Amino acid sequence: MNPLSALSRQNNMNKTWPFHTLESRIMIILIIFYTVGIVSLSLPATKEYIELLTPYTLLMNLVLLFIFHRPWKTLHVVLFSVIAVTGFLVEVAGVYTGLVFGDYQYYHTLGIRLFDTPLIIGINWLMLIYFVYHLTGLTRMKRTLKVIAGSLLMVAYDLLLEPVAIRMNMWDWSGGSIPVQNYVAWFVISIVFLSLLHLFKIRFENKISPGLFAVQAGFILSLNIIYRFI
């Protein structure tokens, strides 16, 4: 057999193998990582310890997003920073006044707090806005519909997140019930952030963003279902 021919066949096989790219291998690792997290957060013996990994997991996701972000421009850095900082400040206002989302307080799970608000929360706003902006950008919808659809997706995500966040000691609501005001605020804030990105016609590629969002959403959905029974 011709060695060159055999090598060519091997290369073709590698290209057809579903996990030959770096991003696909990372996604497999993330699926395993989050699956272990789901199991661990479902067990009383390990739940408390795994909860403490939450801010580091969010930081890991942000780093992965930024590694695969193409191309990087100064405007991207500026707008992403604005969203992260503004998201944090809105949460600070929400915690202190109760006028934004309702009356709630943060606990220890999300890590270091400033003005009673976890620093990681601004990064979480940035990541979620990044996810939905990129995802809706893959469609052929008009800009206005992309903003509305993205904002509705943000609210849908929060609907799944709220019961899980409470069980994971991220935050809690006064009176024990989640106010409708919270979801209205999520929708309005999302409209503002998404509109900002569309206003400046931000364009980028990110091969890992849709998959990472799907894994994170699947993680929240799984815990949402599990916590209904335990």
Count of residues in the chain: 230
Condensed to tens digits (0 to 9), the pLDDT of residues 91-145 reads 999 999 999 999 999 999 999 999 999 999 999 999 999 999 999 999 999 999 9
Tell me the residue range of the domain where 53 lies. 3-226
Average pLDDT for the chain: 93
- Asked whether the predicted pLDDT for residue 10 surpasses 90, the reply is no
pLDDT band at 36 (very low <50, low <70, confident <90, very high): very high
41 near 47, Cβ under 8 Å? yes
Torsion of CA 45, 171, 154, 79, to 10 degrees: -110
How many other β-carbons are positioned within 10 Å of the β-carbon of residue 220? 21
- Residue 57, C-beta contacts closer than 8 angstroms, at least 6 positions apart: 37
- Residue 109, C-beta contacts closer than 8 angstroms, at least 6 positions apart: 51, 52, 54, 55, 168, 169, 170
Which one, of 195, 206, 189, lies nearest residue 89 by Cα? 189
Number of domains present in the structure of the chain: 1
